[in-house]
Amino acid sequence: MVTTAVEWVFLKFHPSRFTNPNRPLTSRCSNRLGFRRFSSSASLSVAAAASSSTVSEVDPKREPVSLGHATRPDFPILHQEVNGSKLIYLDNAATSQKPTSVLKALQNYYATYNSNVHRGIHYLSAKATNEYELARKKVATFINASDSSEIVFTRNATEAINLVAYSWGLSNLNAEDEIIVTIAEHHSAIVPWQIVAQKTGAILKFVNLTPDEVPDTAQLKEMLSRKTKLVVIHHVSNMLGSVGAKVLVDACQSVPHMVVDVQNLNADFLVASSHKMCGPTGVGFLYGKSELLSAMPPFLGGGEMISDVYLDHSTYAEPPSRFEAGTPAIAGAIGLGAAIDYLSEIGMQRIHDYEVELSNYLYESLRSVPNIRIYGPVPSQTVRRAALCSFNVKDIHPTDIATFLDQQHGVAIRSGHHCAQPLHRHLGVNASARASFYFYNTKEDVDNFVLALNDTVNFFSSFR
């Protein structure tokens, strides 16, 4: 597995509307290109989904096809027209699409064994419990955790980070302790630690970027001291054990795209979201070393997380139940398990290799667009970019670009500050456009996107 600092390029995006890249975020961009039209060229009914949970097979007698072409038939949503054009979905860093096997797993749960988990002895409850806990084991195997008890299901990665912040952070951080974060982190990896620092008196320190616009690992190492108690960072190798710091890895944009081995990383905590890896929304997970989870107090109180409840006190269950109060997202977890089955059948190394090739093709193709500014390092033999590009075009607001691409060409990208305002301020802009790819995308998607982007640039340039 190749793990490099440039994986910061996997930015998470939220939609925003602006009229100028450097204007305050409260401004709005009117939709002046008309209403949206949708027409499906393929049935989106789960009942019509293929009965097989495997990746679509390719005729070996035909010419070799890309991974994107081989897997596209498994994703019904991709086979439709948007605004009169074939949908080109390039917003995968925000959320991925779902294969028929995941849709079928969700339908199967609700149609045949919908029940609450852990507390029932009847058949449906036992079946639901078995499938829910099987999903936990699948997650553990997928990231090579030592045991499934090290996997806590959460609503999403944001909740997983907050769980660590409130449970571990408030119990272990004191005044003058230091938390190191990079300026390239998602807001969900910054704001919880700001709150904890305010409550405990701990100090937040931020790592800047190099001239190549990647986190400065040399500066990070210089910041480390005996006062450092936690480093919060997106997916990079952990070499921090010698200073006694705990490491929380935001792996939302690595777990879906490459082999992740928590034991090899030696991460203390790692978080990810289901919906970015072909699974349902509403569920994510926290990995934590067993000795850390066992020492942490509950995050929420209620049913399921207790051992015994008395009028004057309560005792708590062992992890992971201690951190899963109330009825969990049962269907979501089962759907995540189905997504892991799907990804595992393809092979994460295969996905990673294909996306590296797609990323290089995307970067080189985008360079042909007039007046474009692509953020992040230039790909090389030693620098592997994620399969996305964040960019701006001179004198054209990114939301105007995204709107025109959608309504005139059926191309779905994202624009805004992408829940990374500190990073954008460092880059000198308030917003950027972002096209992000997944393994079901193809080089034809790149070609069509760049063609549409050139048309967009020409359209707005004609008004100058």
Write out the DSSP string of 319-330. TTGGG--SS--H
What pLDDT, on the 0 to 100 scale, is given for residue 420?
86
Please report, for the chain, how many H helices and E strands are present, in that order. 14, 18
Distance separating alpha carbons of residues 24 and 21, to the nearest angstrom: 8
pTM equals 0.86
**Of 97, 23, 89, residue with least CA distance to 417:** 23
What pLDDT, on the 0 to 100 scale, is given for residue 160?
98
User: What's the token pair of residue 427?
Assistant: 């880059």
**Of 68, 75, 81, residue with least CA distance to 446:** 68
Contact of 434 with 375, CB cutoff 8 Å: no
pLDDT beneath 50: ranges in the chain: 1-53, 58, 60-61, 237-242
State the pairing for strand pair 284-288/151-154: antiparallel
What pLDDT, on the 0 to 100 scale, is given for residue 56?
57
- Could you give the residue numbers annotated as active site? 419
Distance separating alpha carbons of residues 268 and 461, to the nearest angstrom: 50
Contact of 125 with 330, CB cutoff 8 Å: no
Contact of 230 with 180, CB cutoff 8 Å: yes
What pLDDT, on the 0 to 100 scale, is given for residue 452?
98
State the pairing for strand pair 246-250/269-273: parallel
Contacts of 112 (CB under 8 A, 6+ apart): none
What pLDDT, on the 0 to 100 scale, is given for residue 51?
37
What pLDDT, on the 0 to 100 scale, is given for residue 55?
61
